[in-house]
Structure 1
């Protein structure tokens, strides 16, 4: 279940990482719109800022975001994210924006949930019942740990595209947006590419 959430969030970040904006927008505005779209899971804004031109990538992106939107878990986790733009630098066709991103500490949520999830493995529940139970446990853990946050300062790289600034994704950005999902996956021996 956790790997599914990490994969879904990773796909969402990667698919919408090619965020374009109008030529009038600054790099700070592009990053603000990008992060706000994740924060609210605003499909219209994400679609507007998506630089994905490949039809298959666009379809996969829409499906991934719809899956996340339909999952209360994703809404709850992303709804706790806050951010602050700290600085920016432009150098020709590239820019960097430094942002401080805060979200519920996913390591605390997983740690709090693990002992409650372990008995489910031996419960004889169907896959669907197990997934429902695990979602309930994670939702409860997010609620009870929402004040336990992690703040990460990240440098977000942008490149000037045909229609404006494009955000270049990386693991530190994904980790910050998701409250440490990349770090948690690595601590469990996994990664974002599984």
Structure 2
């Protein structure tokens, strides 16, 4: 799942990071970015992402892998992203601004990924000794994940997140942190870490 998050973030690199047309406050930047993610407007969201932080967060994926994505791969990635963000909601609680840095505290609500990953893990466990090749297992895992995410009603989880921003050339950009990713992806990173600790 971390690999998927990295691949998803790397899509911003394909779209390219564009400039903001007008200076906005830190809380406005966060609102616009989260709204763009929910609407599937990744070009708009990319305007407000710290590019260096994005490169670090997406470092697990080689750029060559992304160049190999065809239109069908991109379509599947966008469809899965739409499932991931369909329930995304947010509320700005407060923000603190200094000369070149800011922190926006927000409540972010999304699908509870601990339930989704639990379901996927059980399905994959039953296939663990089936003799499938790694590529086939990856395909089965993505199918199980998509099926689980496509269910009409899923439990939601709300996290309070401190979103860090840096001012670059008089424009505020959001830093990609594990805390932010965990919030917008419904606790997926903390769930994976907890699964690791349980073994």
Q: Same fold (TM over 0.5)?
A: yes
Structure 2 unaligned residues grouped into runs of 5+: 57-61
Structure with bigger RCO (C-alpha 8 Å, 6+ apart): 1
Question: After superposition, what is the alpha-carbon deviation per residue over 1:165-190, rounded to whole angstroms, capped at 9, x for unaligned?
Answer: 12123221111011111102211338
2:132 aligns with 125
Q: 1:116 aligns with which of 101, 113, 123?
A: 123
CA, structure 1 residues 52+4, in 2 after alignment: closer, same or farther (shift >3 Å)?
Answer: closer
Give the TM-score taking structure 1 as reference length. Answer: 0.74
Whether the 8 Å contact between 1:20 and 1:50 is mirrored in structure 2 is no
Equivalent runs, 1:13-162 vs 2, <5 Å:
21-52=20-51, 60=63, 63=66, 70-71=76-77, 72-144=79-151, 146-162=153-169
C-alpha separation in 2, matches of 1:145 and 1:112? 15
C-alpha separation in 2, matches of 1:130 and 1:149? 28
CA-CA distance at 1:7 after TM superposition: 3.6
CA-CA distance at 1:108 after TM superposition: 0.8
Question: After superposition, what is the alpha-carbon deviation per residue over 1:137-172, rounded to whole angstroms, capped at 9, x for unaligned?
Answer: 212222338431111011112222204112123221
C-alpha separation in 2, matches of 1:136 and 1:7? 19
Note if 1:179 corresponds to 2:186. Answer: yes
CA-CA distance at 1:14 after TM superposition: 11
Structure 1 unaligned residues grouped into runs of 5+: none
CA, structure 1 residues 146+161, in 2 after alignment: closer, same or farther (shift >3 Å)?
Answer: farther
Report the number of matched residues: 185
SS of alignment partner, residue 152 of structure 1: strand
C-alpha separation in 2, matches of 1:165 and 1:19? 13
Whether the 8 Å contact between 1:73 and 1:135 is mirrored in structure 2 is no
Give the TM-score taking structure 2 as reference length. Answer: 0.73
C-alpha separation in 1, matches of 2:174 and 2:74? 21
SS of alignment partner, residue 108 of structure 1: helix
C-alpha separation in 1, matches of 2:11 and 2:114? 20
C-alpha separation in 1, matches of 2:110 and 2:12? 15
